[in-house]
Structures are given as structure tokens and as C-alpha cells.
């Protein structure tokens, strides 16, 4: 087996994971991750990013929701990595993706967007009900 994913949801899953570990050849990589973001969290994030994009200019520019997502992801976890673009006329940001966020990280991102929105008088509306992590 070159690649596998197992979400531990029961004792049987735990036993299966342990069996895989015991059979894995040396130098096999094993990665443990927190649960991924939920669809509700993702929907809420995009609704909020759209509201920010419509209501807030950024340094005199009108940014798209995708642009705002990158700005908020950068604020969530500072990972500035820039490389020259292919024709040498500018830079490309090698930022992170929101699809890789855990539920907890996504909750933090949504809180960050809410705080920014409050500071800039953004009115959030028409967003799906959000079911986040308990405080």
C-alpha cells in the first residue's frame, strides 16, 4: 500500500490503524491530523469573505473574496513565502490553502474575519448557520 487514509471513528478503526503501523516497512511516514473543517464552516467563511469584499476597500483596491481569503490566512498563521514569477516581472505568494485547515483552525479564521468585520463596520448577513467548535 503506497497511500492510505483512515479516519478513527471507532475502536475497530484504532485496531486497524495499529495493525497497519505494525506491518509498515521502516521509513514509512505516518501523519496524524485533527479533523478537517466542516462544510458549514467553509460555507460561512465564503459568505463572510464575500461580505468583506463587497464592503471594504483594501488600500484603495476592491479585492475579490479569494484575495481576502489569502489575507486572512496570512493573518491566521504568518507564512510569508514569495518566489519570482516565471517571467521575472513580479512575485507569487506560496500561501497556504484553507482546505487543509482543521475544524479548530477554521473556527479561528472565522473569528478573525468577524473581528476584522467589526472593526470595519461590515454587516454580515445571508450566511448559512454556523456550527463551530464549542468555546
Q: What is the pLDDT of residues 30-57, one digit of tens each?
A: 888 888 888 899 999 999 999 999 999 9
Between 94 and 71, the higher pLDDT residue: 71
pLDDT at position 16 over 80: yes
User: What is the arithmetic mean of pLDDT over 87-105?
Assistant: 82
> Quick one: pLDDT at residue 126?
60
What's the half-sphere exposure (Cβ side, CA atoms, 13 Å) at 42? Answer: 10
Cell of 29: 511516514
Cell of 112: 478573525
User: What is the arithmetic mean of pLDDT over 85-97?
Assistant: 81
Name the band, by pLDDT with cuts 50, 70 and 90, for residue 130: very low
> Quick one: pLDDT at residue 132?
47
pLDDT at position 131 over 50: no
> Quick one: pLDDT at residue 122?
93
Between 82 and 61, the higher pLDDT residue: 61
CA atoms of 106 and 113, how far apart (whole Å): 11
CA atoms of 71 and 109, how far apart (whole Å): 11
pTM of the prediction? 0.63
User: What single string gives the DSSP state of each residue in 29-88?
Assistant: -----PPBPPHHHHHHHHHHHHHHHHH--BTTB---HHHHHHHHHHHHS----EEE-TTS
> Quick one: pLDDT at residue 135?
37
CB 6 within 8 A of CB 75: no
> Quick one: pLDDT at residue 23?
92
Domains in the chain (CATH in brackets) are: 1-32 (no CATH), 35-135 (1.10.3790.10)
Cell of 89: 516581472
> Quick one: pLDDT at residue 32?
86
Amino acid at each position: 500500500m503506497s497511500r492510505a487514509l483512515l479516519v478513527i471513528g471507532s475502536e475497530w478503526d484504532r485496531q486497524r490503524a495499529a495493525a497497519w503501523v505494525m506491518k509498515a516497512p521502516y521509513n514509512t511516514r505516518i501523519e496524524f491530523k485533527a479533523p478537517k473543517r466542516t462544510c458549514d464552516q467553509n460555507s460561512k467563511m465564503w459568505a463572510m469573505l464575500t461580505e468583506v469584499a463587497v464592503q471594504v476597500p483594501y488600500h484603495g483596491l476592491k479585492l475579490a473574496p479569494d484575495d481576502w481569503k489569502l489575507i486572512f490566512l496570512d493573518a491566521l498563521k504568518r507564512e510569508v513565502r514569495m518566489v519570482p514569477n516565471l517571467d521575472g516581472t513580479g512575485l507569487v505568494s506560496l500561501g497556504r490553502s484553507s482546505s487543509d485547515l482543521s475544524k479548530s483552525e477554521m473556527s479561528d479564521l472565522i473569528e478573525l474575519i468577524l473581528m476584522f468585520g467589526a472593526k470595519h463596520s461590515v454587516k454580515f448577513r445571508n450566511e448559512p448557520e454556523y456550527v463551530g467548535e464549542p468555546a
